[in-house]
Structures are given as C-alpha cells and as structure tokens.
Amino acid sequence: MEEKLKIFKEKMSDIVYLSQAAAVLGWDQNTYMPVGGAESRGNQLAVLSRVAHEWSVAPEMGKLLEELTEYAKELDPDSDDARLIKLAKHEFDVEVRLPSEFVVETAQVTTLAFNGWVEARQKSDFSIFQPHLEKIVDLSQRFAAFYPEFDHPYDALLDQYEPGMKTADVKAIFNTLRPQQVELIRKIAEKPVIDDSFLHQPFDEQKQWDFGVEVVTRFGYDWKRGRQDKAPHPFSINFGMDDVRITTRVYPDFLNPMLFGTMHETGHAMYEQGVSRALIGTPLARGASLAIHESQSRMWENLVGRSLPFWKFFYPRLQEVFPQLSPISLEKFYRGINKVNPSLIRVEADEATYNMHIMLRLELEIAMIEGKVAIKDMPAAWNAKVEEYLGITPQNDAEGVLQDVHWSYGNMGYFSTYALGNLVSAQLWEKIGSEMSDLEDQISAGNFEGLLGWLRTNIHQHGKKFEPQELVQRVTGSKITPEPYMRYLNKKFGEVYDL
C-alpha cells in the first residue's frame, strides 16, 4: 500500500503543478496581459483546466482513492497522509460529476468575463458586463444541479470556498450579527462626524508604494518568495509556497486603498508562505478555507494595521514620508483611519459597516441563483439593497454593481467568507491575547515576530489539513461565532467615539 500511496502522491503533485501553471496565466491576465489576448488566454486556461480535471477524475485515480481510503483507517487520523487521502477523496467526488466540456466552458467564459468586467467598470456601464454575468449565473446554476443532495443550490457553491458550511448556517450567523452591528452604527451616527479630510489629498504614488513595502517587510512577508504588482482589483496568488505574489492599487489622492489593501493581501500571502513544507505538491498546501484566509488578511489589515499600537510605531515614519501629515496628531490620524461612515465601496468600508456590504451581496447572489432577480435588473436591485443596508445610493454602476471582480471569475458563493473571516480574526485575536500578554507592546515596538510565529504554529503550517470549523474549534475552543467580533467592535469604537 505504501507503493500505491507513492504513486497517488506523484499523480496529485502533477495536478497541483498544472493548476499552479494555470495560476501564472491568471496572474498575468490581471496584471500585464494586453486586452487583445483575452480569447487566446481563455483557450489556454481552458486546455489546462480540462487536462487537470481529466487527470483528477481518471478511473485509475478513483481506484487508488478507494483503496487508500480503506488504508487511511489504519493511520493516525490527524497525520498528513490520512488528511491528504480524506481531502483528495472529497475533491474527487466533487470533480468526477463535472463533465470536461463544462470545465472548459467555465474557463473560457470567465476569462472573457474578466475583460468584460474591466471595460464595464472603466465605462461604468453594466450592459457591457451583463451578458457575461448571465452566462456565469447559468454556469453556477448548472454546477449546483450536479449536486442535488444539498439542501439549497447555493450550498453547493458555498461549499467550494467554505467546506462544511451551509447557507442556513451563514444566514443564522448573519441574523445574529446584523442587529448588533446596526445598533452600533446607530450609536455612532449620533456622535460628531470624525474629520478624515487629511487622508484625501495628494500623496506621491511611488512613496505610497515604498511605504507599503516597508510595512509588510516588517510584518514578515518574504520577498525572496514573492513580489508585488498593480492590478485593477487587489489579490494575492499562490504558484507554490515559494512564489506567493501580492497586488495592490494606488490612488494619487487617497492614502487608504494602497496602505490597507497591501496589508490585507500580505496577510493572505504570509498564510500561504507559512504552510508546512512537508505538504508541498499536495492539495493540502493551501489555506483551510476562504474564511480562514480572510481571518489572516483582515487581522493584519485591521486588528494590526488600524490599531493604535501599530501607528505609535509607524506614524512618525509616515509623517517623514508625507510631511503634509506633520500637523496631524497621532490621535487624530488614528481616529481618521477608523472613521465610521456608510460608504459605497466595500474594500474601503470601515470595520463597523463592512459586514453590511457582505450581507447584501449574499442576498443578491442567492436571488440570482434562485432566479428571483433578472440579471438586467441587477443595478437597480444592488442600489436598493445599498439604500436598505447603508442608507446611501450609488450614483453609477462603477461604484455600485460593478465594483467587485469576483463574479467575473465565476466566484458565486464567495462573498460571505469575508464576513466569516472577520469573525474568525477576532476569535483568534482573543486567543492570541490570552497567550501573549505583551502583544500590544510588541506591536508598538514594530515587532511582529511573536504574532507571526503564533499564526505559523497554530494556523499557517496546517494548510488545508483541517476543515475550517474544525480548525477554529481546535485553536479557540469554539466554532465560528460572532461574539468575539462584536466585543472587539464595541470596545474599539466605544473608545474612538466615546460611546
């Protein structure tokens, strides 16, 4: 059986490396590929996707997995081999139901959809993206139909990103969270508006870039195993744990997007860089789920990057880089970057209102999958939800329904993981604080080795060995729950707004 396990691992590594090669093409599409290359790139990705799929569901692979599943019963259930076999069997059972032609069609449609989204967003014209989104929703509905055992079609989509989580589970969590966040927002709205005008002025783009590099280098991002580039919508990507790249975008007259976007993507990338090297070449060598991934990015962006201890160290340096901030005190700057103000753009939303952006997207995605909203009506449906949840209305499609790139990738079922990641970040933060009593002092000194080390030991090294709920339970003693996050929000904004 050891020989069969060896053969299985070799086959799995071939599939992993083929998928990583496809990821390189995806990264290039988002960064440097000329617009005219979209159709050829779609064909290239379609071929790679088809080959990877066919290798994954080959009869020989199925036979090996059946035999190894029995063998795994003799192993330590938490061993790398046992967990690899369990994950691979689950992914085989998912993949084997997908016809090759469906996989090819998905790759082609989403590649063209990305370019359609870029053009539509630039022109703020949803009609350009509408036919692409119609195809993507159709693909998503057909995908869900391959898995009729789920309670709801959306469950099949969610399971791709958050294994084991059901639509009903997410709704229950959000139903608990929503009234508490609405109440907090209401209390804040009664307080004087915080002045953050100093963040909206000219900031040299190269200096912004260099400062961001300085920050994430100190965080612990390994530049020998990564790089940073510009993209229309920031993302991180893994070509293997020794090549994990980040992207960002820079606004010439607003400091926040580059600053916090770079921290966010670095959180993702450091997670991938920290996976145990024993898992290289296997499906375990990636994050446990998108919620766990988001817990890392949101932790570095918000719990660290928007904290007062962090800026006690970095603010004098920022003032050196941008002397126009010299008259702005540390306290005023801290309050400014934590200003609560319902806004239209999700990635620039404050912590108190961010989850509302996610909840409205979840409801719209479910409505699309259920066929309860026509795709042509999405701009109006989006605007109505923004008005309902945030009390404001987009003035155009670019700041409304076209602001996120995810649907162009075919990522239906993705958005709720952002809010779940916020919850997990606070659960982990409470646990870290209980074990590192000097955490704030370390951050105030610009020392992040202890924090990163804790995350490496408790989260990163495990990769995808454990399902997300299992991992959170193992580390914190509880499954994903909103209570720690609300304690964090109430404490922080209670101090910022003197509630």
| C-beta atoms surrounding 169 within 10 Å | 18
81, with CB counted inside 10 A (0-12, 13-18, 19+), is middle
How long is the chain?
Answer: 499
Pairing assessment for the beta strands 244-248 and 228-230 based on DSSP bridges: parallel
d(CA 303, CA 311) in angstroms, rounded, equals 12
265 annotated active-site: yes
d(CA 348, CA 82) in angstroms, rounded, equals 41
d(CA 43, CA 157) in angstroms, rounded, equals 24
**Spatial contact of 129 and 112, defined as CB atoms under 8 Å apart:** no
Element (H, E) at 239: none
Three-state DSSP class for residue 445 = coil
**Spatial contact of 467 and 288, defined as CB atoms under 8 Å apart:** yes
d(CA 55, CA 65) in angstroms, rounded, equals 13
Dihedral-angle region of residue 222 (phi above 0 means left; psi in -120 to 50 means alpha; beta otherwise): beta
| Inter-CA distances, 371 with 141, 143, 201, Å | 9, 15, 44
Element (H, E) at 52: helix 38-56
CA atoms within 13 A on the CB side of 175: 6
Pairing assessment for the beta strands 236-238 and 228-230 based on DSSP bridges: unpaired
d(CA 250, CA 259) in angstroms, rounded, equals 8
d(CA 332, CA 194) in angstroms, rounded, equals 9
- At residue 335, what is the residue type? R
Please tell me which residue in 95, 149, 214, 265 is annotated as part of the active site: 265
**Spatial contact of 264 and 234, defined as CB atoms under 8 Å apart:** yes
| Inter-CA distances, 309 with 51, 110, 261, 339, Å | 50, 42, 19, 17
- Report the alpha-carbon angle 51-52-53, nearest 5: 90
Q: Which residues are catalytic?
A: 265
